Structure 1
Amino acid sequence: MTYTSPIPQLGLGTFGRTGDAGIQAILSAIEVGYRHIDTAQSYDTEGCVGEAIRRSGLPRSEFFVTTKVADTNLSKVDFLPSVEKSLETIGIDQVDLLLIHWPSQNDAVPFDDYMLALAEARQRGWTRHIGVSNFPIALLDKAFALLGEDAVITDQVEIHPYLQAPRLVSHCRSKGLVLTAYQPLCKGAVNDDPLLKAIAKSHGVTAAAVALAFLMAEGHAVIPASSSIENLKNNFASQDVNLTADEISRIRTLDRSARHINPAKSPRWDD
C-alpha cells in the first residue's frame, strides 16, 4: 500500500521518557535515525523532546514533532494558551502536527469549540498540520463536516496485530486518512508471538520489527517507544522488512480486538 502522508511513517513514542533518563533515551533514538518524535502535554515529555533535539546538534528542520492538547485543556479559555505553553516548553516556534489527545468526555466542552480552536492554532502558524487522537468514526465525520476532509491528516489510535480496527481502518481509507498506531507492539506482547517470531526468523529481524512492518504495509504510521538502544535499532530496521502477501494475510488472522488503552473517558469504539 502506497504511503503518501506528510507524517514520517516510523516515529518515536515518548510516553514515560521523563527526566534525564528520558532525554538520553530520546537522544539515543535520534542517533539511531529517528526524526519523527511524538509527545503530548499529558506525558510531561515535551521539555525532554526539546532538550534532546537541541543536544543532538541537528537543525530543527530535520525533525517532525507532534504534540497533543490534553482533554483538560479543550475549553476556549485554556486551549490556545496551552498550545503556546507547549511551544515554549519544547522550545520551538511551531510543531509539525498538533492533535486533540482525547475528545471531550460527555460533551463537557462543545465539540465545535475545541475543533475550531485546533484550526485556529494552525492559522496562527503554531502547527503545520492538525489531527486527532482516539476519535471513533462518528467524531471523525463530525470533524470532517466542520473543518473539511483535507484539514485533519491523521487519527492516532491504538493499533497492533491483536487490535487491527477493521471498521475504523476501512472508513479512514475511504476518506484518505492515515491512522497513526500507538502501542503498535502491544506493550511488548508481540515479541512472544509464535507466528511473528517465525516470520521474523525468515527475515533475520525481531518479531517487533515484523509487527511494525506489517502495520506500515497496511498504510499506517507507527510510533513505538523504547529506551533500549538495541530495541530502538531493531524497531528502526522494520523499515527495511518487505513482507510477502502471504505473510501479511497470516498476520491479519491475529486480530482479536485486544484493546489495552481504554480509560473511563474513552469514546464508544468502533472495533
Structure 2
Amino acid sequence: MIPNFGMGTFRLSGSSLTELVEQALEIGYQHIDTAQAYENEADVGKALSRSADRKIFITTKVWHEKLAYQDVLDSLRESCDRLQRDTLDLALIHWPSPNQEVPLQETLDALTEARERGLIRNFGLSNFTIKLMKQALQHVGAENILTNQIEVHPFMQNSKVTKACADLGVKVTAYLPLAKGAVVENKTLQRIAEEHNASPAQVAIAWELRKGFISIPSTTKESHLKDNFEAQKLKLSEEDMAEIKELDENDRIIDPSFAPDWD
C-alpha cells in the first residue's frame, strides 16, 4: 500500500536534494516521489543508499518519450540503478503518450512485464484524463492501477477526475499541493491556519489528506519539511473543508504543450 504522505522532488536536484531527502527520512518520511524527467533520481539514490536499513516507498515516473515497450523496460532498469534499488515500489506513466503515438496498451503491457521481472512492485498513471484512465483500467483492471497522480490544490481541485478516481477505485495522488507557494498568500487559508495554530501550507496538505488523497509536497527548506510532516496531525472541521472548497478556480499550473485535452 502506498503511504498517504510523502516528499515530492519536482524542480530539486544536486547535493542539496540528497541532503533534504536524508533530512526527510530522519524526520520520519516513508515515501519519496521522483521521476526520470526530474533528472534527480541519482541524487535521491545517494540518500537512499545511506538509509538502506529503513523501509522507504519509492515512486518514479516513465517519461513520455520512453513509453514504447522496450524503452519502458530499459528506462526502469536505469531508474533502479540510479535510485540504487533492485526493485522500485511504484512506476507511473508520467504523461499519456502525445497524440497516442505509443498505444496505451503497449505501455501497460510493458509495465506488467516490468513487474513480472521484479523491476517494480506496482504501476499506475499520472496526468491521465477520465477517458484515458478508463482505457487503462479496461486493459489491465482497476486492481493493477495503484494511483493516478494529478495536480490538486485548493485553487485547482480537479473535482471531475478525483470523483472518477473514487468511482473507479483508483487512489488519487495530489501533486503540487501548495500551488508553488500560492497557498501561503491566501486570506482564507491564513485565517483557518491561525485558528488551528498552523500554517497555510499545513492547512492545504491537511485538506488533501482529509479528502483521502496522497499528498506529496516539495520544499527546499528543512524547516518546511518538518512543518509539512506535522500537517498529518492537523484535523480540519467540516466548516474548514467547506470554506476551502469555495477556493476552487480551476487554476491549473502544470499544462505543457504535450498535455492531453483536460476534462
TM-score by length of 2: 0.97
1:16–1:22 Cα contact (<8 Å) kept: no
Q: Which residue of 1 aligns with 2:141?
A: 148
User: For the residues of structure 1 that align with 2:174 and 2:163, how far apart are their CA atoms?
Assistant: 15
Deviation of the 1:46 alpha carbon: 0.9
2:101 corresponds to which letter in structure 1?
Answer: A
Gaps of 5+ in 1: 1-5
2:114 aligned with 1:121, yes or no?
yes
> Helix, strand or coil: the match of 1:226?
coil
2:14–2:43 Cα contact (<8 Å) kept: yes
User: For the residues of structure 2 that align with 1:244 and 1:25, how far apart are their CA atoms?
Assistant: 32
Write the mapping of 1:1-271 to structure 2, written as runs, cut at 5 A. 6-55=1-50, 57-60=51-54, 62-270=55-263
> Helix, strand or coil: the match of 2:243?
helix
User: For the residues of structure 2 that align with 1:189 and 1:134, how far apart are their CA atoms?
Assistant: 21
1:156–1:182 Cα contact (<8 Å) kept: yes
User: For the residues of structure 2 that align with 1:266 and 1:153, how far apart are their CA atoms?
Assistant: 21
Moved more, 26-35 or 255-264: 26-35
1:13–1:38 Cα contact (<8 Å) kept: yes
User: For the residues of structure 2 that align with 1:137 and 1:123, how far apart are their CA atoms?
Assistant: 27
Question: What are the Cα deviations for residues 202-234 of structure 1, in whole angstroms up to 9, with x where unaligned?
Answer: 111110000000011111001100120111111
Q: Hey, which bits of structure 1, 4+ residues long, moved more than 2 A?
A: none
> Helix, strand or coil: the match of 2:188?
helix
Give the percent of matched residue pairs that are identical in Structure 1 and Structure 2. 40
Question: What are the Cα deviations for residues 7-66 of structure 1, in whole angstroms up to 9, with x where unaligned?
Answer: 1111001122211111112112112221100011111111111111122x3525x10000
Deviation of the 1:128 alpha carbon: 1.4
User: For the residues of structure 2 that align with 1:45 and 1:222, how far apart are their CA atoms?
Assistant: 20
2:69–2:107 Cα contact (<8 Å) kept: yes
2:177–2:204 Cα contact (<8 Å) kept: yes
User: For the residues of structure 2 that align with 1:117 and 1:77, how far apart are their CA atoms?
Assistant: 7
- Over the aligned positions, Cα root-mean-square deviation in angstroms equals 1.0
Deviation of the 1:76 alpha carbon: 2.2
1:97–1:127 Cα contact (<8 Å) kept: yes
- The alignment of Structure 1 onto Structure 2 pairs a total of residues equal to 263
Deviation of the 1:241 alpha carbon: 0.4
> Helix, strand or coil: the match of 2:156?
coil
User: For the residues of structure 2 that align with 1:35 and 1:119, how far apart are their CA atoms?
Assistant: 25
> Helix, strand or coil: the match of 1:78?
helix
User: For the residues of structure 1 that align with 2:31 and 2:151, how far apart are their CA atoms?
Assistant: 18
